[in-house]
Amino acid sequence: MAQKKILVVEDERDINELVSYNLRRQGFIAESAFNGADALKKLKKGKYDLLLLDLMLPEMDGMELCRVIRTDKAFSPIPIIMLTARSEEIDKVLGLELGADDYVTKPFSTRELMARVKAVLRRAPALPEEGKGKILRAGDLEIDGERFLVKKKEKPVTLSAMEFKLLYYLAERPGKVMSRDFLLDALWGDEAFVEPRTVDVHMRRLREKIEDDPSAPVYLLTKRGVGYYFGEEVRG
């Protein structure tokens, strides 16, 4: 985990400084931004391994910044943990749907936050080892496990690191139906903070990006009451 670079985007200076201090104590490089516009400038200039993003920000709020990041292939794979005073379920779901990898509600303990940071960094970059390096082709999709690239009809598709892992894992096993709990264990590991609903949100985002009609998918299918699977026919 040492020397991972993290951008803390939080307009409350005391909280920003506290989080940054604790990150440095854990061996991370921590930089600060106090509004969304400043954070976007820093992202364009530097490379970061993780973004801690407050929801309520001046100039550009956290939701909008998250949306911008996830639609720009230059930094879309950066994992994002949202920090917010809101605790309503709808806000959590909206944050996940926009591309956040995790969600921490204020007030939070620094110990819990550091645990979540380490958990997200552990899971973000790696593929299941058995599929690493292979190129999978299905219909008009090409999924490159070595370069972490997806193309649809020869055009690049921008995915977050976890979206890529989920797509690749399912495509490696066409026709095999996997429950949400199974996918959580396989891809997120033994992490107490991840909610089962996270899988549903990632699947919905993936369908919006790779299916011609997300309401009638041909790649990412659902076995009602059981789980998700990759279509056997499109893999050939």
- Level-2 CATH architecture, domain 129-235: Orthogonal Bundle (1.10)
**pLDDT at position 229, please?**
95
pLDDT value for 190 = 58
> What CATH architecture is 5-123?
3-Layer(aba) Sandwich (3.40)
What secondary structure does DSSP assign to the chain, as a single string?
-TT-EEEEE-S-HHHHHHHHHHHHHTT-EEEEESSHHHHHHHHHHS--SEEEEESS-SSS-HHHHHHHHHT-TTTTTS-EEEEES---HHHHHHHHHHT-SEEEESS--HHHHHHHHHHHHHHSSPPPGGGTT-EEEETTEEEETTTTEEEETTEE----HHHHHHHHHHHTSTT--B-HHHHIIIII-S-TT--THHHHHHHHHHHHHH-SSTTS-SSEEEETTTEEEE-HHHH-
Q: Give the tokens for residue 82.
A: 């949202």
pLDDT at 210: 94
- pLDDT for 214: 93
Task: For 151-199, write each residue's pLDDT tens digit.
Answer: 999 998 988 878 888 999 999 999 999 998 888 888 876 554 567 778 8
Contact between residue 169 and residue 133 where contact means Cβ atoms under 8 Å apart: no
Domain boundaries of the chain, sorted by first residue: 5-123, 129-235
pLDDT averaged per 10 residues in sequence order, the chain, 236 residues: 84 94 93 94 90 90 87 79 73 71 85 88 57 78 87 89 88 92 79 71 91 94 93 69
Question: Is the entire prediction scored with pTM above 0.85?
Answer: no
